[in-house]
């Protein structure tokens, strides 16, 4: 096997491509697409998003201390890209992409109704890191679309055809090749 040595950079791919919804102190909503997102802790449930300070939604998150992570799907791929390249300073992304804002339970930021999963978050810490600041947030609630539950009540996100981001490209997730613990499961 032959490998090239590259300069240091982010090569941790693929990543979830999510739409993060926010609302400013006047209630004006916006959506920002983020791939720098992840799980931080399971108990208490916590996540992180990293946002460039020059992005329109950055100050909204900093001021309100809340946001909603909305998982994306193949059907939402166009809107996901649009919300990442257009600025909320110039356009109402909900209207432009015909997305439906709906009321969250614990935060003022809206849910995106078309998303199969919405995760309400409250910021607990902001860490300046360089090009991005990391917002660490506690998960306050999760909304899951019932249409993705199977007959036994198990939530099956794969039925929503979620998308991921890798090196500037959006991809679908592919086929299931195993389950947690299958490598040590007794036959």
| 5 within a domain of the structure (yes/no) | no
Residue 101 lies in a domain: yes
Residue 186 lies in a domain: no
Cβ atoms of 36 and 55 closer than 8 Å? no
DSSP track, 34-86: ESSEEEEEETTEEEEEEE-TTSHHHHHHHHH-EEEEEE-BGGGHHHHHHHHHS
24 located within any domain: yes
For 98, the domain range is 15-172
Number of domains composing the chain? 1
For residue 11, the model assigns a pLDDT of 83
Task: Decide if 81 is inside a domain.
Answer: yes
Q: What is the DSSP letter of 110?
A: P
Longest dimension (CA), the chain: 59
- Per the domain annotation, does 122 fall within a domain? yes
Number of neighbouring beta carbons within 10 Å of residue 11: 8
pTM: 0.95
Q: What is the pLDDT along the chain (187 residues), one digit of tens a residue?
A: 899 998 988 888 999 999 999 999 999 999 999 999 999 999 999 999 999 999 999 999 999 999 999 999 999 999 999 999 999 999 999 999 999 999 999 999 999 999 999 999 999 999 999 999 999 999 999 999 999 999 999 999 999 999 999 999 999 998 888 888 989 988 8
In a domain, 159, yes or no: yes
Q: How many residues does the chain have?
A: 187
The answer to whether the beta carbons of residues 17 and 7 sit under 8 Å apart is no
Residue 182 inside a domain? The answer is no
The CATH number linked to 21 is 2.30.110.10
SS3 label, residue 15: strand
């Amino acid at each position: 096997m032959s490998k090239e040595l590259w300069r240091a950079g982010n090569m941790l791919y693929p990543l979830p491509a999510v739409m993060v919804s926010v609302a400013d102190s006047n209630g004006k909503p916006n959506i920002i697409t983020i791939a720098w997102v992840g799980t931080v802790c399971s108990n208490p449930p916590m996540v992180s998003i990293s946002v460039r300070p020059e992005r329109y939604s950055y100050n909204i998150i900093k001021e309100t201390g809340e946001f909603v992570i909305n998982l994306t799907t193949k059907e939402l791929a166009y809107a996901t890209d649009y919300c990442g390249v257009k600025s909320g300073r110039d356009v109402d992304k909900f209207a432009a992409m015909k997305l439906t804002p709906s009321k969250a339970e614990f935060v003022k930021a809206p849910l995106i109704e078309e998303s199969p999963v919405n995760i309400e978050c409250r910021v607990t810490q902001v860490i300046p890191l360089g090009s991005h600041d990391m917002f660490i947030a506690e998960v306050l609630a999760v909304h899951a679309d019932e249409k993705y539950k199977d007959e036994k009540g198990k939530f099956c996100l794969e039925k929503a055809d979620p998308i991921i981001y890798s090196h500037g490209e959006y991809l679908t997730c592919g086929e299931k090749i195993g389950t947690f613990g299958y490598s040590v499961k007794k036959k």
